[in-house]
Amino acid sequence: MSGPIQDDVFAAGEGDRWYERNRDALGHDDWPLRLIERNALHPESVLEIGCANGWRLAAIAESGAPRLVGVDVSSAAISAGVSQTLDLSVGRADRLPIEEEFFDLVIVNYVFHWIDRSTILAAISETDRCVAPDGYLIVGDFLPDRPTKVPYHHLPDDSVFTFKTDYAAAFTALSTYEVIDREIYNHDDPSAEPTSENRGVCTLLRKTLSGLYR
Ligand SMILES: C[S@@+](CC[C@H](N)C(=O)[O-])C[C@H]1O[C@@H](n2cnc3c(N)ncnc32)[C@H](O)[C@@H]1O
Is the distance from CB of 183 to CB of 202 less than 8 angstroms?
A: yes
Pocket test for ligand 1, best of 105, 114, 141 (most atoms within 8 A of CB): 114
- Give the confidence band of 1 by pLDDT, cuts at 50, 70, 90: very low
Give pLDDT tens digits for 96-152.
999 999 999 999 999 999 999 999 999 999 999 999 999 999 999 999 999 999 999
Residue 52 CB-density burial (10 A; 0-12 exposed, 13-18 middle, 19+ buried):
buried
Give pLDDT tens digits for 3-29.
678 899 999 999 999 999 999 989 877
Give pLDDT tens digits for 156-189.
877 899 999 999 999 999 999 999 999 999 999 9
Q: What are phi and psi of 60, to 5 degrees?
A: -70, -35
H-run or E-run covering 171: helix 168-172
Instruction: List, as one string, the DSSP characters of 85-141.
Output: TSEEEE-BTTB-S--S--EEEEEEES-GGGS-TTTHHHHHHHHHHHEEEEEEEEEEE
Nearest-CA residue for ligand 1 atom 3 is 110
- Structure confidence at residue 150 (pLDDT): 93
The CA distance from 160 to 163, in Å, is 10
- Structure confidence at residue 28 (pLDDT): 77
Residue 71, strand partner residues: 49, 89
Ligand 1 cavity residues, CB under 6 Å: 7, 10, 15, 18-19, 26, 50, 52, 72-74, 77, 92-93, 109-111, 114-115
Nearest-CA residue for ligand 1 atom 24 is 15
Question: How far is C-alpha 182 from the chain's CA centre?
Answer: 15
- Structure confidence at residue 192 (pLDDT): 96
- Furthest C-alpha separation in the chain: 50
Domains detected in the chain: 6-23+30-207 (3.40.50.150)
CA of 80 to the centre of ligand 1 (A): 14
CA of 110 to the centre of ligand 1 (A): 7
Give pLDDT tens digits for 49-106.
999 999 999 999 988 888 999 999 999 999 998 777 899 999 999 999 999 999 999 9
- Structure confidence at residue 210 (pLDDT): 85
The CA distance from 60 to 66, in Å, is 10
- Structure confidence at residue 88 (pLDDT): 96
